[in-house]
Amino acid sequence: TVGLEKHFHLPAGPFRPAATLRAVDGIDLAVREGETLALVGESGCGKSTLGRMLVGLLDPSGGDVVYRGRNLAAFTRPELRSLRRELQIIFQDPFSSLNPRMLVSDIVGEPLWLHEGLGRRARGERVAELLSLVGLSPEHGERYPHEFSGGQRQRIGIARALACGPKVIVGDEPVSALDISVQAQIVNLLEDLKERLGLTLIVVAHGLGVIRHMSDRVAVMYLGEIVEMAETDALFDSPLHPYSRALLAANPRAVAGDRRPRRLLEGEVPSPTAPPSGCRFHTRCPHAQAICAESRPRLAPAGTAPRQVACHFWAEIAEGEVAHLPSPV
Ligand code: SF4
Ligand code: MG
């Protein structure tokens, strides 16, 4: 993607002036084929919006989404329809994304009918295959979504997403609505499917715990921007951006053996309708200096590893020299 933006125009209302909500602001992101990329940040950081734009469910208000060398905006309607088969999304709440009045076999088989025009018999066979691929049995197809547990419903959602042989799957917080014990099962299933089917996975998450073991790279997002982009191990070993550091400190258990108490990030998340000037994190950053409120740091290569950070002082902070920084005026 190149300079991707999504601005929502909020209508004027009695309590709210007309405003532009910058959900994703000038993001440049290249997803590599076959990788698992995590988009992480607090709610409202724009990670879901970005995930939806990446699969063509939302059109960017500026910038481009490029898929296999072609701009999505340049696809014709029929091309877009076939593209939909390659780019799929799994939602957070499997219940609200499954039609309660449809049999599971019809839910899973619907894309086969819509996109491939498969007849009843062929569809039935394919649905049985898909159900077993996600650890369910063909008999499960003859029931309704409410008859299943949360984890099983997410399996149904995954089977539906797999129906037309996708290349890229975006999981929008695919396990955060599930019990902890079930989360690992679904994560394992996704990893297994990724290997077997050669998928590219983009996992949207608000916490680091889930993505620690499944993602190859992580994009940490704050108020519509990517503030750090790193290989997963590098991020967990040495987060460079103060916000990444704060996320890790808030969830030390995501790091094996770390028994430090949780340290929650102070301060409110500023409104995306009026993001802070300069570095958007400066209102909450423990290292903020005067320049941080004025000059917006760009995502730029940091260190030797293929890594990018948007912070004026990442190097000084990493060196522990932060105490030597000129104090804010
Ligand atoms: Fe903190 Fe300044 Fe870096 Fe922003 S640019 S993260 S405010 S030190
Ligand atoms: Mg979301």
Distances (CA, A) of 136 to 102, 139, 159, 176, 242: 17, 8, 9, 21, 43
Element at 184 (helix H, strand E): helix 180-197
Q: Which ligand is nearest to the CA of 171?
A: 2
- Whether residue 293 contacts residue 277, with contact meaning beta carbons closer than 8 Å, is answered with yes
- The residue whose CB lies within 8 Å of the most ligand 1 atoms, and thus the one to mutate among 222, 241, 282, is 282
Residues framing ligand 1 (Cβ under 6 A):
242, 279, 281-282, 285, 287-289, 292, 297, 311-313
Q: Which ligand is nearest to the CA of 93?
A: 2
How is residue 166 written in tokens? 């996708």
- Per-residue pLDDT, 61: 74
- Give the span between the Cα atoms of 185 and 64, in whole angstroms: 35
- The residue whose CB lies within 8 Å of the most ligand 1 atoms, and thus the one to mutate among 247, 281, 294, is 281
**What is the 239 CA–ligand 1 centroid distance (Å)?**
14
Domains belonging to the chain, first-starting first, are: 2-324 (3.40.50.300)
DSSP string, 123-147: HHHHHHHHHHHTT--GGGGGS-GGG
- Whether residue 30 contacts residue 229, with contact meaning beta carbons closer than 8 Å, is answered with no
The residue contributing the CA closest to ligand 1 atom 3 is: 311
- Per-residue pLDDT, 62: 73
- Give the span between the Cα atoms of 1 and 68, in whole angstroms: 11
- Per-residue pLDDT, 22: 63
- Give the span between the Cα atoms of 223 and 188, in whole angstroms: 30
**What is the 237 CA–ligand 1 centroid distance (Å)?**
20
Instruction: Give the other-Cβ count within 10 Å of 16's Cβ.
Output: 10
Give the CA angle between residues 39, 70, 35 to the nearest 5°: 35
pTM (predicted TM-score): 0.87
Distances (CA, A) of 324 to 38, 252, 313, 320: 34, 27, 11, 9
- Per-residue pLDDT, 328: 46
Tokens 């960017």 -> residue? 60
pLDDT tens by residue, the chain, 329 residues: 555 666 655 455 554 555 565 666 667 778 888 899 999 988 777 888 888 888 878 777 777 787 877 777 888 888 888 888 888 999 887 677 789 999 999 999 999 988 888 888 999 999 999 999 999 999 999 999 999 999 999 999 999 999 999 989 999 999 988 988 899 999 999 999 999 999 999 999 988 888 888 999 999 999 888 999 999 999 999 999 999 999 988 876 656 566 666 666 777 778 877 889 999 999 999 999 999 999 999 999 998 778 999 999 999 998 887 654 554 43
Q: Which residues pair with 64 in a beta bridge?
A: 2
Q: Which ligand is nearest to the CA of 43?
A: 2
- Per-residue pLDDT, 101: 93
**What is the 18 CA–ligand 2 centroid distance (Å)?**
23
Among the atoms of ligand 1, which is closest to the Cα of residue 279? 4
**What is the 172 CA–ligand 2 centroid distance (Å)?**
7
Q: Which ligand is nearest to the CA of 39?
A: 2
**What is the 51 CA–ligand 1 centroid distance (Å)?**
26
Q: Which residues pair with 35 in a beta bridge?
A: none
Closest CA to 250 of 261, 242, 262, 259: 262
Give the CA angle between residues 190, 194, 200 to the nearest 5°: 110
